[in-house]
Structure 1
Amino acid sequence: MMTSLFSTFDPTTNMLQINWIIMITPMIILPKWFWIKKSRWNKMMKLMEKKLTMEFKNMTHHKEMMIMSISVFMFIMLMNMMGLFPYIFTATSHLSISMSIALPMWLMMNIYGWTKFTNSMFKHLLPKGTPMMISPMMILIETSGNIIRPVSLSVRLTANMIAGHLLMTLLGNTASMEKTMMILPLQMMLTAFELAISIIQAYVLSTLITLYSSEIP
């Protein structure tokens, strides 16, 4: 019995923590031949990777960041979609998981940019053509916006995952035998909507990471 509505996002059981263990389940579920045999799933993943590479190529010239962004997209999409299955915890609904993805990426880009291209990174803090009177305020705004980037990335992903799952939990708790025929179509539509949200949120986060990397010369 749930003690609160948010206890559905509790990743613990009486035996062990499943918050991190659930993140390796795709590697366990997928058979070994998935990565080498030309199946429909493998072709679909390759096609998705090709489309993402073509799109990210227009956003940044760093090939390493394109590879990492595609990897982040695949990982988050799998975690989000697995959360739609019964008895599987949605890892990305916890801020600790989302922050552990966004923060290292942000730190990596900033450390590399500020150590290798210090002068160019300073240029991004003051947009071209800014009047001298408001230059200090613009620098503070740009600096604050850069600092909160990992927070905005992680909170956006976590909030969207929590919102959809809360709606599904509320509909599941209020359903009775008399209301089943009315609630079931709504739950099916909400599940399809959550599936789309799972892909969209993974795409948004990987796209934003790629755009942030374009600021590095």
Structure 2
Amino acid sequence: MQNTAKISIKTGLGIIGMGVLLGTAASQSISIEPEYAKLYTYNTTFNISVKLSGDNIAGVQFNLNYNPTIIEAESVSEGNFLKNNSAVLTIPAKIDNNLGAVKFASARVEKKGVYGSGNIAEITFKIKNPGATDIKLDNVKIKDPDLNTIKVKVNNAAVTVKNTSETTETKQQTADEKTGNTAQNSQNSKNNYFLIISIIAIFLLVIISKFIRDKSE
């Protein structure tokens, strides 16, 4: 009976410990913001941010994948999250617009992790063609000061690029509708004007007829 009790206690502690670990992991994430963007080909460039939320973070590495026929990366700049009370070593980002990939890696010099959330990188893209593409994080590695791996939830993004001509057609259609509405309103105003004039004329005729009739009597 004593051995059974010990096993039960250990098992219970294991379950509690697992719950704590799962709760911590669930609160930590790496995300692309905005999560969804609808753009037009006349918007020559746009920016996305890679945001990290977590505890005791000392280093970050990731690849960013996209469809290079729709968009292409122009530049990558590091965010301020890892710079909190520490210098940062950042490997120059590698952009490959043939494959549609960006490689990024950065680490704190101070042997102390950072807590909370913030941007770790900002990427500027150039729009090439209309279409749709996912922007996905891959090969994500988050480390603490002891080089232990921190598990995080990965949140990707999507971009839709529409042709400028579609926007122009929509604007022209809207303008035509407004013109048609204006013309219709103008015609209605004219009709109302003539109706009022006709009513006044009839009213005056009635008064004049009555005046003549009264005078003749």
* TM tier, smaller: under 0.3
TM-score, normalised with respect to structure 1: 0.24
Q: Which has the larger radius of gyration?
A: 2
TM-score, normalised with respect to structure 2: 0.24
- Structure with the larger RCO, 1 or 2 (CA within 8 Å, 6+ apart): 1
The structure carrying a bigger helix percent of its residues is 1
The structure carrying a bigger strand percent of its residues is 2
